[in-house]
Amino acid sequence: MVELDYDIVIVGGGGAGLYAALWAAENTILKVAVMTKVYPTRSHTGAAEGGINAVLTHSVGDSPEAHAYDTVKGSDFLADQDAVDIMCKMGAAVIYDIAHRGVPFSRRPDGRIAQRPFGGASFPRTCYAADKTGFYILQTLYEQCLKNNVTFLNEWFLLSIIHNGERVEGITAWDIRNGGVHLIKTKAVILATGGHARVYWNRTSNALGNTGDGTAAALRAGLPLKDMEFIQFHPTGLAKTGILVTEGARGEGGYLRNKDGERFMKRYAPEKMELAPRDIVARAIQTEIDEGRGCGPNGDYICLDLTHLGEEKINERLPQTREHAILYEGVDPVKEPIPIAPTAHYSMGGIDADKLGRTPIKGLYAAGECACISVHGANRLGGNSLLDVLVYGRLTALEAVKYADEAPETNPSVAKAKDDEKRILELMEADGKEKVADLRKELGNVMMKHFGVFREEKSMREGLEKVMEIKERAKHVKVYDTSKKFNTDLITALEFLNLVDLAPAIAVPAIERKESRGAHARKDYPKRDDKNFLKHSVVKLKEDGTYELSWKPVTITKFLPEERKY
Amino acid sequence: METAILQVFRYDPEKDQAPYYKEYEVPVEGTLLNALLYIKDNLDPTLAFRAFCRSEVCGSCSMKVNGKTKLACKTPMKELVETWKGKPLRIEPLNHMKVIKDLVVDIDKPIEKMKTLIPWLVPDPRVVPTDPMHESIIYPEEMEAYKDQIHCMLCFSCYSACEAVADNERYRGPFAFSKAYRFQVDRRDIETAKEKRIRYAISGGLWSCVQCQKCIHVCPKGVRPAEDIQNLRGQAVKKGFTDKPGAKKLKHFVDWIYATGQINRLYLPEEVYGNKEAREKLTKAYTEMGVEVWEVPKPTKGLMKFRDIYLEILSKEDKALDLDYSHVRKIDKMVSDIFKADICTIVDKAHEEGRSSRGLISKLKGLLGGQ
Ligand SMILES: Cc1cc2nc3c(=O)[nH]c(=O)nc-3n(C[C@H](O)[C@H](O)[C@H](O)COP(=O)(O)OP(=O)(O)OC[C@H]3O[C@@H](n4cnc5c(N)ncnc54)[C@H](O)[C@@H]3O)c2cc1C
Ligand code: SF4
Ligand code: SF4
Ligand code: FES
């Protein structure tokens, strides 16, 4: 068993991981490595189109407080306000930093960074780089990491986190390219493994590999996951594939119409109309579809109409949207409206971490979408995730550097690595009575049906039963490819097993949160209930395989809960 | 349901002695990526390929279809079937990179090569404020200069299609030059970095590009490396890197010796000083002196072997990239025009024997301790 030795290992090469790597590389001579299952520039951050929120020095009338208020209100008051405060105050510093490193933000005629309106924001504060904001950020961060000679373990797959109950000691990982389980000794670990919306397998805007691997590994290592019931459904996923149409399409003035051509948002959010926050728009669309006002032969989608924007504006502001609509939906938005329906988009919940990204285990940090700090509470505002990713990438890096500088050497036992090796061998020798592809699809359908845009006690209980049954059946999946090199059959299976571990962690708190808040919309409890549920849910996996639920208070500093109206 | 046959390249270096093709019947629906995922989910879980975003932003899924470079998630199956009129579709990994398994190739080398060209911003403190709370002003017009280059998603399609990479393994690759050029035209990038990039570009084979334009045709993101390379050459010339007779003389020696085994006394004044009449005058003068002259030397049997040895010498000096293959090709063409296709037969034969210079360089690398 090969052993690798670092001071800090950053797991994940997306926005959070790379920004952490950069700040670590520039601020320490410790040995830092970035481990990622896909080459960094391929991470899901590259798919973020719309933009990144921040109050800049030239944002007239706007302030970090206003940003914080919008964020807290958007979160349906579940966000921790001390953390939101940190994030919003760091906005400008982070944007200027990455602009100075080369991110080609779109500019105003006077040469300053342009900002546009985005859902749920009281001022236009979303900075963007055409409609490829995340792509440019990711490429630029990667360039800067190359410049700083960051060590990359590309195409390595995190398996397990090793700790002694108090502090982290190492991790185990599979080297995808060459095969083999490795034990990696390290003083600090930053988990930046991204979201888990692939739980909804076919109905998600996320990349194929957004399977919550880091979150699942944390869960298995006994760490608490927070607010897992909150999954954001993006209102506008392409009808056929779930692939995203950016919120920018509505920001630029697109209309949502039902089968009668009605701009139905006037019945749901008369003032903000199409620019209301995602959860409200998604629910409006789902309601239109559920009540028979959907478009198309099956009435299962809604139309996003951009035709009045004209070809020039569409080409200039929304080139990628046009390309995707043509390629995946066969519709040219210049001429026809785009068929869309809600799609699972973002995981608000994740690894429980505090306002500096620290988990209960010393030396173990979480940043980006895999973490639940929580700055998004029950619902994330569009453009706030990239900000979260950068702010916490940077903060956790500095925390980790500080910690690793002083932390004693660790001595991880090989037991975990041996276990993982055994687990993989067992997968290859399983009976194969069940197929990953089938079970994965089934899991996605169950989650969408029972834990989708709308939720309800009876249906959720049924759903949980089905999920647990799938978890049982998952013991029979087999990895047919027994080779070592680039065994994608194995990776696919491991990813699926992570989803299976996470699904109940979503279902259990979803059932117990008997209220509607943010993305968690219950038909049987349509109102928010601050008296009983203004609190974070916390799920832990017990040794006997059951999921244990507890609750934790929300940090409220300035903004007292009020009704969330737009 | 309409179906199509994919003949997929399979190779597991651990198990298979040689690559082979396996046929799969797939639905003609959605993209080529959908078809591959269909195979993996329903027919053969052991097939290895890369894919992640499934929406043409991550650059994972480029491969070859009947020899043409394609991004799987951007290529509708219908279009393929129509283009190839029911013929089987041969799916293969990209060229010029080692196959790790099936359709997965080793992309570390092109990334390393790119890294040598400083593909990152080196901010000029006079333009980019060092105070993190100060914005650097950039006018929208300025960004026009690099608006295409920034779309590169490192899919390596162009690298796979490139003629110069085929000829010279150390050639940095089209995308790498585009990445470098992006910073050459960014006002925020410091002059000293620009200077260095040009120097590294030259030693990275800037003059080896044969301007075949293939990189432009295959790029799924509208990047135009061949043009960026021309612009970089323009910058190099402006900065005086190749314009000097000294540099040109060296280039003349290196290229002619490699191509023919000898320098060309007749062409030297023309190629180095641009003197077009010199050739005629010299021919006359040599003849009068009773010296035998030739316009181009006749290739002899041992030429290919000579080329190998010569390249080996250059490589030892780390000068292999001084060779300008486009020039060598021109010389080859002159030779074959004059001697009626002789050089081509020789070259072809050499290729048959598997002694292309590309193979040699990798061998050499081994010899030299894997530099
Ligand atoms: C289509 C789309 C559009 C979006 N648009 C916006 C937007 O406009 N504005 C905004 O603010 N947010 C947006 N978001 C959300 C935002 O993009 C993500 O939340 C954010 O990019 C997450 O970044 P990350 O660094 O946390 O994770 P990711 O970018 O997902 O990176 C995760 C990394 O972890 C690695 N990894 C995962 N598992 C393992 C493992 N087992 N072993 C090793 N490595 C592993 C991966 O290789 C990857 O490098 C969008 C999301 C989607 C889906
Ligand atoms: S034009 Fe130059 S860089 Fe482009 S493919 Fe041809 S040889 Fe390569
Ligand atoms: S230039 Fe184009 S083809 Fe080449 S790597 Fe970049 S995106 Fe791919
Ligand atoms: S899967 Fe990302 S480009 Fe094709």
| Catalytic hit among A42, A125, A257, A278 | A278
**A85 and A153 share one domain:** yes
Flag if B133 and A324 touch (Cβ within 8 Å): no
- Residue nearest ligand 2's atom 3 by CA: B174
CA distance B202 to B209: 11
Burial class (CB in 10 A: 0-12, 13-18, 19+), B239: middle
* Atom nearest to B62 CA in ligand 4: 4
Contact A82, A355 (CB under 8 A): yes
Q: Which residues of A touch B151 (CB under 8 A)?
A: 132
| CATH of region B3-104, choose from 2.40.170.20, 2.40.110.10, 3.10.20.30, 2.40.30.10 | 3.10.20.30
Cα A36 to averaged position of ligand 1 atoms, centre (Å): 12
pLDDT category of residue B132 using cuts at 50, 70 and 90: confident
Q: What is the pLDDT of residue A439?
A: 97
* Secondary structure of B143-155 in HEC code, one letter for each residue: HHHHCCHHHCCCC
Q: Which residues of A touch B136 (CB under 8 A)?
A: 96, 99-100
Q: What is the pLDDT of residues B177-186, one digit of tens each?
A: 999 999 999 9
Q: What is the pLDDT of residue A440?
A: 96
Q: Alpha helices, DSSP H only, in chain B? A: 32-38, 77-83, 108-115, 140-143, 157-161, 163-167, 174-184, 191-203, 214-218, 225-238, 245-260, 268-273, 278-289, 303-316, 325-338, 342-352, 357-367
> Is pLDDT at A453 greater than 50 in this prediction?
yes
Q: What's the average model confidence in pLDDT over A121-150?
A: 95
Q: Does A278 qualify as catalytic in the annotation?
A: yes
- Residue nearest ligand 2's atom 2 by CA: B209
Q: Which residues of B touch A140 (CB under 8 A)?
A: 121
Ligand 2 proximity of B174 Cβ (cutoff 6 Å) = yes
Shortest CA gap A103–chain B (Å): 10
Q: How many CA atoms lie within 13 A of A520 on its CB side?
A: 34
Q: What's the average model confidence in pLDDT over B154-173?
A: 93
Q: What is the pLDDT of residue B252?
A: 76
CATH of the domain at A483: 1.20.58.100
CA distance A117 to A290: 29
Evaluate whether residue A540 is within a structural domain. no
* Option in A47, A110, A136 nearest B53 (CB): A47
Amino acid letter at A429?
A: E
* SS3 label, residue B344: helix
Flag if B14 and A481 touch (Cβ within 8 Å): no
Sign of the alpha-carbon torsion through A30, A36, A39, A44? negative
pLDDT category of residue B365 using cuts at 50, 70 and 90: very low
CA distance A441 to B308: 56
Which residue in A339, A130, A340 sits closest to A252, CA to CA?
A130
> Is pLDDT at A159 greater than 90 in this prediction?
yes
Q: Which residues of B touch A154 (CB under 8 A)?
A: 108
Q: What's the average model confidence in pLDDT over B146-161?
A: 97
Contact A377, A227 (CB under 8 A): yes
CATH of the domain at A111: 3.50.50.60
Burial A368-386 (b: 16+ CB within 10 A, else e): bbbbbbbbbbbbbbbbbbb
> Per the structure, how many domains does chain A have?
3
Ligand 1 proximity of A248 Cβ (cutoff 6 Å) = no
Cα B38 to averaged position of ligand 3 atoms, centre (Å): 27
**A18 and A53 share one domain:** yes
* SS3 label, residue B137: coil
Ligand 2 proximity of B296 Cβ (cutoff 6 Å) = no
Evaluate whether residue A565 is within a structural domain. no
Flag if B45 and A480 touch (Cβ within 8 Å): yes
Flag if A328 and B138 touch (Cβ within 8 Å): no
- Residue nearest ligand 3's atom 6 by CA: B152
Q: What's the average model confidence in pLDDT over B260-289?
A: 80
Ligand 2 proximity of B110 Cβ (cutoff 6 Å) = no
Shortest CA gap B53–chain A (Å): 4
**A57 and A141 share one domain:** yes
> Is pLDDT at B354 greater than 70 in this prediction?
no
pLDDT category of residue A117 using cuts at 50, 70 and 90: confident
Q: Please name the residues between 187 and 216 in chain B that touch chain A, using a CB distance below 8 Å.
A: 188
Q: Which CATH class is domain B108-238?
A: mainly alpha
Which residue in A352, A346, A374, A400 sits closest to A85, CA to CA?
A374
Q: Which domain holds residue A314?
A: 236-342
Flag if A323 and B153 touch (Cβ within 8 Å): no
**A194 and A240 share one domain:** no
Mutate to test the interface with B, among A141, A143, A321, A482 (most CBs of B within 10 A): A143
Contact B26, B108 (CB under 8 A): no
Amino acid letter at A153?
A: L
Q: Which residues of A touch B101 (CB under 8 A)?
A: 483, 485-486
Q: How far is CA A555 from its chain centroid?
A: 22
> Is pLDDT at B366 greater than 50 in this prediction?
no
Q: What is the pLDDT of residues A343-380, one digit of tens each?
A: 999 999 999 999 999 999 999 999 999 999 999 999 99
Contact A522, A515 (CB under 8 A): yes
Question: Cα angle at A78 between A264 and A372, to 5 degrees?
Answer: 105
- Which residue among A376, A406, A436 closes a domain? A406
Q: What's the average model confidence in pLDDT over A89-112?
A: 96
**A185 and A80 share one domain:** yes
H or E element, residue A254: none
Cα B60 to averaged position of ligand 4 atoms, centre (Å): 5
pLDDT category of residue B363 using cuts at 50, 70 and 90: very low
Q: Please name the residues between 230 and 249 in chain B that touch chain A, using a CB distance below 8 Å.
A: none
B285 shares contact with chain A (CB less than 8 Å): no
Q: What is the pLDDT of residue A276?
A: 86
Flag if A209 and B52 touch (Cβ within 8 Å): yes
Q: How many CB pairs under 8 A join A and B?
A: 154
Give the residue extent of every domain in chain B. 3-104, 108-238, 245-353
CA distance A341 to A245: 10
* SS3 label, residue B269: helix
Shortest CA gap B188–chain A (Å): 9
Number of other residues whose CB lies within 10 A of the CB of residue A539: 25
For B138, residues 6+ apart whose C-beta sits below 8 A from its C-beta are A107, A111, B187, B188
Beta strand B3-10 pairing with B20-27: antiparallel
**A333 and A392 share one domain:** no
**A26 and A155 share one domain:** yes
Evaluate whether residue A557 is within a structural domain. no
pLDDT > 90: percent of chain B: 55
> Is pLDDT at B360 greater than 50 in this prediction?
no
Which residue in A519, A552, A504 sits closest to A212, CA to CA?
A504
> Is pLDDT at A49 greater than 70 in this prediction?
yes
- Residue nearest ligand 3's atom 3 by CA: B219
Give the residue with greater pLDDT, A69 vs A300. Answer: A69
**Residue A210 token pair:** 């957004």
Q: Among B138-152, B298-312, B321-335, name the most confident range.
A: B138-152
pLDDT category of residue B321 using cuts at 50, 70 and 90: low
Ligand 2 proximity of B219 Cβ (cutoff 6 Å) = no
Long-range contacts of B357-363 (CB under 8 A, 24+ apart): B357/B167, B357/B168, B357/B307, B357/B308, B357/B311, B358/B166, B358/B167, B358/B168, B358/B169, B360/B308, B360/B311, B360/B312, B361/B168, B361/B169, B361/B170, B361/B311, B361/B315, B361/B320, B362/B169
B92 shares contact with chain A (CB less than 8 Å): no
> Is pLDDT at A71 greater than 90 in this prediction?
yes
User: Mean pLDDT lowest for which of A249-263, B33-47, B106-120, B307-321?
Assistant: B307-321
CA distance A113 to A110: 9
Q: Which residues of A touch B115 (CB under 8 A)?
A: 146
Q: Alpha helices, DSSP H only, in A194-244? A: 213-220
**A272 and A323 share one domain:** yes
> Is pLDDT at B369 greater than 70 in this prediction?
no
Q: What's the average model confidence in pLDDT over B168-182?
A: 94
Q: What is the pLDDT of residue B318?
A: 61
Strands (E), A474-542: 521-522, 535-541
Q: How many helices (H) and strands (E) does chain B have?
A: 17, 7
Q: What is the pLDDT of residue B176?
A: 98
Flag if B57 and A243 touch (Cβ within 8 Å): no
Residue whose structure tokens are 């609190």: A535
Evaluate whether residue A119 is within a structural domain. yes
Query: A76 phi and psi, to 5 degrees?
Result: 55, 40
- For B182, name the nearest residue in chain A, comparing CA atoms only: A102
**A69 and A153 share one domain:** yes
Flag if B133 and A93 touch (Cβ within 8 Å): yes
Q: What is the pLDDT of residue A1?
A: 63
Beta strand B89-92 pairing with B62-65: antiparallel
**A226 and A241 share one domain:** no
Query: A342 phi and psi, to 5 degrees?
Result: -60, 150
Give the residue with greater pLDDT, A240 vs B54. Answer: B54
H or E element, residue A163: strand A156-163
Q: Which residues of B touch A156 (CB under 8 A)?
A: none
> Is pLDDT at A106 greater than 70 in this prediction?
yes
**A261 and A207 share one domain:** no
**A394 and A258 share one domain:** no
Shortest CA gap B58–chain A (Å): 4
List all residues whose CB is within 6 A of at least one atom of ligand 4.
B 33, 51-54, 56-61, 71-73
B76 shares contact with chain A (CB less than 8 Å): yes
> Is pLDDT at A127 greater than 90 in this prediction?
yes
- Which residue among A369, A385, A406 closes a domain? A406
pLDDT category of residue B247 using cuts at 50, 70 and 90: low
Which residue in A94, A347, A41 sits closest to A198, CA to CA?
A347
Beta strand A32-36 pairing with A52-53: unpaired
How far, in Å, are B4, B150, B207, B274 from residue B248 at the CA level? 54, 33, 12, 10
pLDDT > 70: percent of chain A: 99
Ligand nearest to the CA of A134: 1
> Is pLDDT at B244 greater than 70 in this prediction?
no
The percent of chain A in helix, strand and coil, each rounded to the nearest 5, is: 40, 20, 40
Q: What's the average model confidence in pLDDT over A556-566?
A: 85
Q: What's the average model confidence in pLDDT over A243-256?
A: 90
Equal fold, B3-104 vs B108-238 = no
Q: Identify any residues that bridge with A520 across adjacent strands, giving them in sequence order.
A: A517
* Option in B15, B121, B137 nearest A112 (CB): B137
Evaluate whether residue A386 is within a structural domain. yes
Mean residue pLDDT of chain B comes to 85
Q: Alpha helices, DSSP H only, in A133-232? A: 133-147, 213-220
Q: What's the average model confidence in pLDDT over A181-190?
A: 97
Cα B53 to averaged position of ligand 4 atoms, centre (Å): 5
CA distance A214 to A192: 7
Q: What's the average model confidence in pLDDT over A225-243?
A: 93
Flag if B139 and A111 touch (Cβ within 8 Å): yes
pLDDT > 90: percent of chain A: 89
For A252, residues 6+ apart whose C-beta sits below 8 A from its C-beta are A116, A306, A309, A313, A317, A318
Cα A167 to averaged position of ligand 3 atoms, centre (Å): 44
Mutate to test the interface with B, among A58, A210, A485 (most CBs of B within 10 A): A485
Shortest CA gap B125–chain A (Å): 10
For B210, residues 6+ apart whose C-beta sits below 8 A from its C-beta are B163, B164, B167, B325, B326, B329
Which residue in A251, A309, A308, A12 sits closest to A131, CA to CA?
A251
Flag if B52 and A135 touch (Cβ within 8 Å): no
Question: Cα angle at B193 between B189 and B197, to 5 degrees?
Answer: 115
Evaluate whether residue A485 is within a structural domain. yes
pLDDT category of residue B345 using cuts at 50, 70 and 90: low
Evaluate whether residue A556 is within a structural domain. no
Give the residue with greater pLDDT, B352 vs B148. Answer: B148
Q: What is the pLDDT of residue B243?
A: 54
